[in-house]
Amino acid sequence: MVLVSRPPAVKIDFRCLLLLSTFQIWNWVTNSVSSLSNGVVSIFGGSPLLPDDYVCTQEYSIELLSVDPLVIYVNGFVKDHEINHLIHKTKDDFSPSFVYDYKTDKNEILSEVNSTWRSSTSAMVSKRDPVSRCLAKRLKSLMGNLQHPDTERLQIVKYVGGERFRMHNDYLPVHLEAKHPDGSTKKFNRLVSSFIYIGDNCTGGETYFPDIKGVGPNADGDKFSRTEDGMGLLVKPKKGNAVIWHNVHQNGTGDERMAHAGLPVVNGTKIGMNLFGIYYPDEPLVGGT
């Protein structure tokens, strides 16, 4: 989270990136079922809620919500047995959620609890967990020809009555450090965000993108809401589904149009997952690993 005013908009030619993305999307749609034998990874769960022969499949369908900036809705991104496993594994691990707060005077980011800004609870999942590994594989496969060396750790978030996450961007104004696949430590940022819904027994709690045009009047009311003026994309919690978006322009600068908020839960409980696909600024954004 960055508590600073937005800089002037940056106009970037997205044609190259969008053509690559659209080409990849066509491949996902046409191959999501017929080519499951390609790249399927068998991972044994060792969990009472995962079958012993658990297989990480890539079965889902997608809908384009926005082209520029690119926002994708994924139906069936996570399966029921995977959800049950993750909820079981993290049931005793929840604590107040942290935010990243940018300190302009020090040009650094601090991780801290700020319940006024983000009032949910959260739990982290090990990268060695079989479902966590599978979801990372799914997200990276969606990134196609974009750089996708790794993801951050999977985070489970829980919202109950009145809890929310105020307006923020996932792109960080200061690059953090992570272990590169080559063993070195390198600076990274968040190229792609995914928010995956795994508990939808609630009213309210939409994910709100004020700068993205909303859905049309004939859109699925179980998945989307509409604002009166049609501006602002509102995605409802829908168990198993995900919304995925790019955080950066093609030149690597943060895209302020991707500001979003988790609106307050009115009743019930909303459970979701954050999974961020990272990139290294000193490597090509397109055509990377």
- Check pLDDT > 60 for residue 33: no
- Check pLDDT > 50 for residue 42: no
> Higher model confidence: residue 265 or residue 177?
265
Domains and CATH numbers, the chain: 15-93+120-279 (2.60.120.620)
- pLDDT (0 to 100) of residue 289: 57
- pLDDT (0 to 100) of residue 46: 55
- pLDDT (0 to 100) of residue 62: 96
Q: Is the pTM value of this prediction over 0.75? A: yes
> Higher model confidence: residue 169 or residue 42?
169
Across residues 55-74, what is the average pLDDT? 94
- pLDDT (0 to 100) of residue 233: 96
Mean pLDDT of the chain: 85
| pLDDT single digits (tens) 79-133 | 999 999 999 999 999 999 999 887 776 677 778 999 999 999 999 999 999 999 9
| pLDDT single digits (tens) 139-148 | 999 998 888 8
| pLDDT single digits (tens) 233-282 | 999 999 999 999 999 998 889 999 999 999 999 999 999 999 999 999 98
Write the DSSP assignment of the chain as a string of letters: ---SPPPPP-----HHHHHHHHHHHHHHHHHTTTTTTSS-EE----STTS-TT-EE----EEEEEETTTTEEEEETSS-HHHHHHHHHHHTT--EEPEEEEEETTTTEEEEEE-TTTB--EEEEE-TTSHHHHHHHHHHHHHTTTB--SEEPPEEEEEE-TT--EEEE-SS-SS-EEEE-TTS-EEEEEEEEEEEEEEEEEEEE--EEEEEEEPPPTTS-TTTEE--TTSEEEEE---TT-EEEEE-B-TTS-B-GGG-EEEPPEEEEEEEEEEEEEEE-TTS-SBS--
| pLDDT single digits (tens) 218-233 | 999 999 998 888 889 9
- Among 275, 200, 246, which residue's Cα sits nearest to residue 21? 246
Residue 167 tokens, joined: 């307006």
| pLDDT single digits (tens) 181-214 | 888 999 999 999 999 999 999 999 999 999 999 9
Cα–Cα distances (Å) from 181 to 125, 148, 154, 241, 276, in that order, read 20, 11, 18, 29, 16
- Check pLDDT > 80 for residue 155: yes
- pLDDT (0 to 100) of residue 251: 86
